[in-house]
Amino acid sequence: MAVNDKISALDVMRDAPVIPVIVLHDVKDAVPLARALVAGGIRMLEVTLRTREALECIELISKEVPEAVAGAGTIRSAADAQASALAGARFGVSPGYTRSVGKACHDLGLPLLPGVATGSEIMMAQEDGLTELKFFPAVQAGGLAMLKAWQGPFGDVKFCPTGGVHAGNAHEFLALSNVACVGGSWIVPTDAIAAGDWGRIEALAREACQLSR
């Protein structure tokens, strides 16, 4: 996948078994973290908009680590989507779904993985043409049992469960036919980022890529 290739939400979900949920507090960590994840086999990087440094981190990754595909997480408004696209994000992830966020991402050409937790939210997203969805917060909202229940009425939807997913249970989610990947922060632990332990993060990424789906 070249740096300027257009991607879809399904491309984002299928690239690796895990999309890392990244929280960065220092811009100096952005590039080495991205390089470590790419070296470990993970290219789709969700940098959450939970810190004031997030947009600058996305911009740095986009410019300096062309092998990575930087995305923006925690998109909650059209303004968030616009700022993310301007920073170089190539996909977006939201904790929930509103039509204004969906329209903004569509107009920007920014593939979106919107968060859903109920059947009604899935139906609203589908009405707007979205069939690749983030199930959030996955464990707290019903976990494996909920995903299995959705296989019947929403058999045409692919999910990325995020929230409470970790190395110990990720394989159970990935075994489900309607799960394309999972989202998780366990491969980017805050203590490893703080210590600059990029070797540990690369190793965690390699382990995550071995998860079967």
> Does 134 qualify as catalytic in the annotation?
yes
Q: Which tokens sit at 117? A: 């937790």
One of 59, 134, 158, 202 is an active-site residue; which one? Answer: 134
> Does 56 qualify as catalytic in the annotation?
no
Q: Which residues pair with residue 158 across a beta bridge?
A: 132
C-alpha distance from residue 75 to each of 54, 109, 114, 185 (Å):
12, 15, 9, 17
Q: Which residues pair with residue 142 across a beta bridge?
A: none
Continuous H helices in the chain: 9-14, 30-39, 54-64, 78-87, 99-108, 119-127, 143-150, 170-174, 190-195, 198-209
Report the alpha-carbon angle 213-101-56, nearest 5: 80
Cα separation of 11 and 24, whole Å? Answer: 24
- CA-wise closest residue to 180 among 53, 25, 18, 54: 18
One of 46, 53, 59, 132 is an active-site residue; which one? Answer: 46
Print the SS3 string covering 117-168. Answer: CCHHHHHHHHHCCCCEEEECCCCCCCHHHHHHHHCCCCCCCEEEEECCCCCC
Strand, coil or helix: what is 43?
coil
Active site residues: 46, 134
